[in-house]
Each structure stands twice: as C-alpha cells, then as structure tokens.
Amino acid sequence: MLRRLYDWCIAAAYRPFASWIMGGVSFVESSFFPIPPDAMLIPMSLARPDRAYSYAFLCTWTSVLGGILGYAIGAVLYDSVGTWLIGLYGYGDKVEAFREAYNRYGAWIILLKGLTPIPYKIVTITSGFAGYNLLLFVLFSVITRGMRFYFLAFLLNRYGERARTIIEERLEFWVALGGIVLIGGIVAALYLF
C-alpha cells in the first residue's frame, strides 16, 4: 500500500492537477486535516527536483491561508467548532495553558511549533482563541512554514536523485520513522502544555 501511494505521488508530480491537490492538503492541514502536506511534497519533489522550490512556495502560502482559517475558527467559532477540533486531537485540557503561554511567548510559540511535527492546526486555532495579533500571526506563519517547506525543498533539490534512491530502497523504514516523529510530536505537545 505504501509503495502504491508513493508511486502515485511520484507519477502525479507530472500531472497538472497535482499541485492543486498538494496546495489543498496544505491548506486544510493548517486548520483541521490530520495529514501534513509533506506526504505529497516529498515524493513530488523527488520526482521533479527542479520544481521543489515552487512546491515549497505553494505549500507555504496555502498553509498560511489555511492557518488564517484555523485562526478564524479559534476567534469566531471556538465554542463550537474549535473545541470540537481541539478535543478531536486530545488537546482540550491543554488549550488554557497554551493560551496563557501566548501572553508571554506568542511569537516563539508560532515560530517553533510551525517547524515541528506538532500539528500546526493547534497553533492556528489557539492563536485565534487567544486573540493573538492577526498580522503578527500571519508574519510568523510565513516565516516558520516557509522555513520548514523551503528547507525540505533545499534538501530534495540538492540531493534529489540520491535521496530518491535512499528513500525508495527503504520506503517502509522512512515512512515508519516519519510516523514515529509525528506521533512523538503529538505526544510532546500533550505533555508540554
């Protein structure tokens, strides 16, 4: 199954609609969807290393726009949709501590959590709920999401064929490692706040 999904992403990189799908995944991941755009960004950039930076640009901006939707959910719909989404990911009892942390460390929270495997939707919804300055939220989101996606693009562009060979030879290992990092990030978020 993993091989088929990977092969589909590689083949899709040559189709015109693939960028739209990746942009859509990046958008919804920042507000409610559980799968990060890296699942498409990595194989598509491996297939077309020459487009890695344009994919990073697309992921950055669609992630930020999705983050604005997450912010709006937190600011306007927190009592209904926001609490449901936060509870769905098991962070319901952590939100108040996270909100208090915004009073002192808002910029650092956005910048650091945007780089980690901790679900970014938690940051976006809580930023809106906490009433964090929207302009600063967007600015820091552009910085942190851009750093994350452009760093991946740099690695995939620079080591494209070599990285592709390494990943394809041990695909299950790399997917498992990515899953462990993602789960580790979620567990860390549960215990940090």
Is residue 86 over pLDDT 60?
Answer: yes
- Who's near 93: CB < 8 A, 6+ residues apart? none
* Domain hosting residue 18, numbered range: 2-192
pLDDT digits (tens, 9 = 90+) for 32-58: 887 788 888 888 888 888 899 999 999
105-134 as b/e, with b when 16 or more CB fall inside 10 Å? ebbebbbebbebbbbbbbbbbbbbbbebee
Count of the separate structural domains present in the chain? 1
pLDDT digits (tens, 9 = 90+) for 15-33: 888 889 999 999 999 988 8
pLDDT digits (tens, 9 = 90+) for 106-158: 888 888 888 776 778 888 988 998 889 999 999 999 999 999 999 989 988 88
pTM for this one? 0.78
